[in-house]
Amino acid sequence: MASSEGRAGAGWRVSIIVLLAFALRLANITGESLWRDEVDSIRFALQPLSALVTTFSAVGFNGPLYHLLLRGWFALVGVSDFTLRYLSVLFGTGLVVLAYAFGYRVFSPSAGWWGAWLTASSPVLIWYAGEGKMYSVQPALLALGFYALVRAAQRRAWRWWGAFVFATSASFYLHLLSPLALIVVLAFCAASVVLLRQQWHRVAVALAALTVPYLPLLAWQLPSFLAGVGSALPRYAPEVALGTLINNWSFGLDPHAPLPPSASPELGRALRAGVLALGFLGLAYGLWRRRSRLGFAVLGWAVLPPAALVLLSLQVPLFLPRYVLWSATGFYLLLGNGIAVLRPPLRGALVGLLSAVSVAGVVAQVVHPIRPDLRGAVEHVLHRARPGDAVVLLIPYAKHSFTYYADRLGTDAHSLRMIEAPFTNRGDPPEQIYARLRALLSNAERIWFFETEPALWDARGLTAAWLEQNWVKLEQQAFRGVRIALYVLR
């Protein structure tokens, strides 16, 4: 257990780290448009309360507790791009505080604030703290649950057991794969067996209370998994999946970070390999020096959920890096512990290198945005469209984003004819697709073609080809991830 020595000296550092974490997460909060999943967050949160409550037991529905939380948040602050993402900023900043508290409790004060710094400056955590989804709330809740478990083992207090059960159970209703946290819980219990054997009755009650809230979800999740739900996701080889996770946690989501796109690919690979090697050496050295059983439980936090997800994905494709984003906190805590036990010259060099890599990753994510610019594309159409114009949506699901931003701009989207492009990825003959398009657009005189993520709906590009052949294109405008074109009759 960490001693009280050094608490005061670390306090001001932690305060600065938390403020920097908040500033980094807030800086570009509305720099990118909402993407379709974020618009869904708003739609689901604002649906009738009776419909929202039914999603807690609805088959295949993910994150109902997040949408209920959003509903209350919107009632307080209103609905906008900023308010949606600001809630994620708050939880993302809270995760930094929890990382410090956990590292302090398990390792040492210096390990706590180095772990907090790596969490605060993590490009991938900063990015998801700027997204209106559960991927900032879930890591904070699970970190709170693990911290409460450690305190419960050390203090033998029912209130900490209650906090552990509440936070971990709530996470089950934030994301379908949060129950992977049960593997980590077992690892912590095994590492704390000496402390826990004198309060086995509390452990039994807590674990029983933890599993009961999961039963309604398990009732449909297990049959769905066995039936192959999730097969629409791509398959990853295990080494590719784990390599992707480590790169995301270390360098962020931009594939070129920490070097610019113009840099040599070989140089980029060498730098990534070097940073990873130094990081893992520091991590291993820190574990060896501390010889802490709980330290090895933190290793389970970082390793076991990703490994379990990769193994599950061998049966049914389920792997997406964000699904185990919450394990990144364990990785940063281990790395922070490794930094803390190094001697000052080497520690300073490693911290400087890791900080430079983090800054490069954050900058790359801002300079090379990831989300489609739906906001700019909708604004472009609405400023030029005439009442009665047809808007051909490809993918059709973009209608929700179109309607949302039309409302933000004070325009009634119903003054336009919203037309869903035919689905072509079943392999229907082009003649059938063209016949459907002729029927859909038989009375149109002006058409706005609104195309985003076309591979999901029309990988062959049949809709665009038909418009090019049968209509006259007056203008075309490209936005990030969206293509707009205006057509009129020949």
- pLDDT number for residue 210: 80
Regarding predicted confidence, which is higher, 71 or 194? 71
Token code pair at residue 243: 């390599």
Confidence band for 268, pLDDT divided at 50, 70 and 90: confident
Tell me the C-alpha distance between 171 and 165, whole Å: 10
- Residue 486 scores a pLDDT above 70: yes
User: Residue 423, Cβ neighbours under 10 Å: how many?
Assistant: 15
Confidence band for 7, pLDDT divided at 50, 70 and 90: low
- Residue 142 scores a pLDDT above 50: yes
Buried b / exposed e over 145-173, threshold 16 CB at 10 Å, is bbbbbbbbbeeeeeebbebbbbbbbbbbb
- pLDDT number for residue 222: 67
Q: What is the pLDDT of residues 444-456, one digit of tens each?
A: 899 999 999 999 9
Q: What is the pLDDT of residues 34-52, one digit of tens each?
A: 999 999 999 999 999 988 8
- pLDDT number for residue 256: 83
What's the whole-number average pLDDT of the chain? 88
- pLDDT number for residue 352: 92
- Residue 2 scores a pLDDT above 50: no
Confidence band for 232, pLDDT divided at 50, 70 and 90: low
- pLDDT number for residue 193: 76
Query: Does residue 373 contact residue 482 with C-beta atoms inside 8 Å?
Result: yes
Tell me the C-alpha distance between 103 and 95, whole Å: 12
Residues 6 or more apart whose Cβ sits within 8 Å of residue 60: 220, 224, 229
Task: Give mean pLDDT, residues 259-284.
Answer: 80
Regarding predicted confidence, which is higher, 477 or 201? 477
Tell me the C-alpha distance between 345 and 354, whole Å: 14
Q: What is the pLDDT of residues 354-405, one digit of tens each?
A: 999 999 999 999 999 999 999 999 999 999 999 999 999 999 999 999 999 9
Phi/psi of residue 5, nearest 5 degrees = -65, 130
Confidence band for 3, pLDDT divided at 50, 70 and 90: very low
Taking the domains of the chain in order of start, what are their residue ranges?
A: 7-367, 374-489
- Residue 280 scores a pLDDT above 50: yes
- pLDDT number for residue 115: 94
Regarding predicted confidence, which is higher, 276 or 309? 309
Residue 14's nearest CA partner among 98, 130, 90, 86 is 98
Q: What is the pLDDT of residues 93-109, one digit of tens each?
A: 999 999 999 999 999 88
Tell the residue number behind the tokens 């209608």, with chain if given: 399
The letter for the amino acid at 103 is: G
Tell me the C-alpha distance between 361 and 357, whole Å: 6
Task: Give mean pLDDT, residues 456-472.
Answer: 94
> pTM of the entire structure?
0.91
Q: How far is CA 440 from CA 213, 433, 457, 465, in A?
A: 48, 11, 17, 16
Confidence band for 485, pLDDT divided at 50, 70 and 90: very high
User: Residue 443, Cβ neighbours under 10 Å: how many?
Assistant: 8
- pLDDT number for residue 5: 47
- Residue 207 scores a pLDDT above 50: yes
- Residue 230 scores a pLDDT above 60: no
Confidence band for 1, pLDDT divided at 50, 70 and 90: very low
Regarding predicted confidence, which is higher, 344 or 220? 344
Tell me the C-alpha distance between 253 and 124, whole Å: 6
- Angle among Cα 289, 293, 298 to the nearest 5 degrees reads 90
Residues 6 or more apart whose Cβ sits within 8 Å of residue 478: 484
Q: What is the pLDDT of residues 236-263, one digit of tens each?
A: 888 888 888 999 999 999 988 888 887 8
- pLDDT number for residue 195: 66
The order of strands in the sheet holding 390-394 is 417-420, 390-394, 446-452, 482-489, 471-479
Q: What is the pLDDT of residues 150-196, one digit of tens each?
A: 998 887 778 999 999 999 999 998 998 898 999 999 898 888 776 67
- pLDDT number for residue 220: 65
- Residue 490 scores a pLDDT above 70: yes
| Cα within 13 Å of Cα(220), Cβ side | 12
